[in-house]
Structure formats: structure tokens, C-alpha cells
Amino acid sequence: MQLNQKTVVITGAAGGIGRGLAERFSDEGAHVICADIDLDGARNVAAKIGGDAFRCDVSAENDIQKLIETVEDTIAPIDLFCANAGILTLGGLDVPDADWDRIWKINVMSHVWTARHLIPRMVARGGGYLMTTASAAGLLNQPGAAPYGVSKHAAVGFAEWVALTYGDQGIRVSVLCPQAVRSEMIRGHETSVAAIDGILEPDDVAQACVEALAEQRFLILPHPQVLDYMRLKTSDYDRWISGMNKLNQQFTDDV
Ligand SMILES: NC(=O)c1ccc[n+]([C@@H]2O[C@H](COP(=O)([O-])OP(=O)(O)OC[C@H]3O[C@@H](n4cnc5c(N)ncnc54)[C@H](O)[C@@H]3O)[C@@H](O)[C@H]2O)c1
């Protein structure tokens, strides 16, 4: 997909990766709708790029449905929906159920609800594009962060399912799986395991996305090392688990 003159919705666009995507996609000629639970932040980004801003809490299906309906009814059909909003929850067996519920809604169900309300519209008009911001943690897990690693695996799994189910009906899917990217999410965690191969800037991630969208490539890996780790995982799962266990011991006190 070339972004020029496309209508693009980005959730979590008030800051971090979402903001980087909004600015870059706008530079490419897209009309960007910045959606975020932080409406002031979304408005700031939209004002800078000549886009629109909406308040949307992606943990609520109603908000996602309303966002899609309002954009399609009052602006234009959505060509590309970037489901980017996500949260990080650290911890393991100690994490309360309420925290699991919250991250599950934001990191997983938001993608289901987006697909539920948008894919039938896209299929009816011959196609459309969904881009999910997952994480390298959705491919390789994350020591010290069970809810994050597990929910991001589910996000990747759902993106795969959408792609394999609707590919023949014109639906394209990409899944963005970076390691550490400079944003509020990793503030204070700059020496964590996620930053083991360096911290990218949101601009670098946006560049990788523009290239992958142009090629309609499913997997977007701004940190190329992730592909090597995936190959190691699939070639010898037990060796990979053992290596990750060592990494866990090394980083256990500093997620
Ligand atoms: N920063 C990293 O190192 C990194 C690495 C891999 C993947 N990711 C993923 O990238 C995405 C963006 O993260 P980021 O690093 O830019 O984080 P960030 O915290 O800087 O930005 C997240 C944005 O999402 C918004 N948001 C949070 N909860 C929301 C909700 N319920 N509804 C709507 N908006 C909500 C926030 O207001 C914020 O603007 C997330 O899905 C995250 O898991 C981040």
C-alpha cells in the first residue's frame, strides 16, 4: 500500500510509536485520524499534521465501534487501521486478575473488536488494510512480564488468523514486532531485556512500516535480530527455552 491520499486511523497516536506513525504517514500524504484515550494528546498530534483527533478507549468495544462508524460516516472509508494502542504490565504469578483483564482487553480484544466492526465494511468494498502493533515479545516472549508476553502472542495469533481467513477477500494484514522503542512505555526501563539490541526511535519504526506496507509484508521487524531469534526458536525449541531461562536470570531484577 502506498499511503498517499489514504485515510488512516491510528490508535495510541498521542505519543510514542503511534505519534511517529502519524507524523510519517502524514508526510507520505495520508489523512491521519489520531485516536487515543488521551484526547488532548491526540489533538496536539492531529493539529501538527493537519489530521483529525478522536477520543477512543480501546478497552471498550463501543468506543472502537463508534470510532470506525464516525470516521467512515463523516470523513472517508478507512483504508488502513493501525491498532497500535497497547500497555505494558510487568510481573508473573503475582499479577492480579484485574490487571490480566485490563491488558487482555487492550492488547488483544481491541484487535478482535476492530476486526469485527471494520472487516465486513472493507470486504464489502473490495478490501482494506489492518496493521497491528504487537511486539517482539509476541514472538519471543518477555522475561519478567507474563501478561505482556502472553497478550502480545495472542495479538500476533489473531493477526495471523485474520490474514489467513480474509486474504482472499482483499484484506491485507501486517504485524509490527519491535524490541525496545523510545517512548513513555520504556521510560525507566532503558537497560531492560527488551533493550538488549538497542533502542530504536519511533521514526525508525515508522520507516520500517512504510517499507513493509508498500510490499504488503505481514511481519515487520524493525530490529532484524528478531528474525534470527525466531529461527533459533523454531530450529531447536528446547535450546531456545534454555537460553531464555538464562536471560531471565540475568534480567530478573530489571525488566
Ligand atoms: N516502546 C516499546 O519499546 C515497544 C516495543 C514493542 C511494542 N510496543 C508496542 O507499541 C505500542 C505503542 O506503545 P508505545 O511504546 O508508543 O507506548 P506509549 O505508552 O508511549 O504510547 C501508548 C499510547 O497509547 C495510548 N493508550 C493507552 N491505553 C489506551 C487505551 N485504553 N485506549 C486508547 N489509547 C490508549 C496512550 O495514551 C499513549 O498515547 C503498544 O502496543 C506497545 O505494546 C512498544
pLDDT tens-place string over residues 81-96: 999 999 999 999 999 9
The alpha carbon of 18 and the centre of ligand 1 are apart by a number of angstroms equal to 7
Query: Is-contact 21 206, C-beta < 8 A?
Result: yes
**CATH fold of 7-254, please?**
Rossmann fold (3.40.50)
Q: How far apart are CA 218 and CA 234, in angstroms?
A: 18
Whether residue 134 has pLDDT greater than 60: yes
* pTM score of the predicted model: 0.97
Instruction: Work out the percent of the chain whose per-residue pLDDT is above 70.
Output: 98
The alpha carbon of 125 and the centre of ligand 1 are apart by a number of angstroms equal to 30
Domain range list for the chain: 7-254
Band of residue 191 on the pLDDT scale cut at 50, 70, 90 = confident
Identify the pLDDT of residue 112: 98
pLDDT averaged over every residue in the chain: 96
Q: How far apart are CA 235 and CA 241, in angstroms?
A: 12
Strands 128-133 and 171-176: parallel
At CA 245, angle to CA 242 and CA 248, rounded to 5? 155
Q: Is the CB of 143 under 6 A from ligand 1?
A: no
Q: How far apart are CA 67 and CA 63, in angstroms?
A: 6
The alpha carbon of 8 and the centre of ligand 1 are apart by a number of angstroms equal to 17
Q: How far apart are CA 89 and CA 86, in angstroms?
A: 10
Q: Is the CB of 186 under 6 A from ligand 1?
A: yes
Instruction: Work out the percent of the chain whose per-residue pLDDT is above 90.
Output: 93
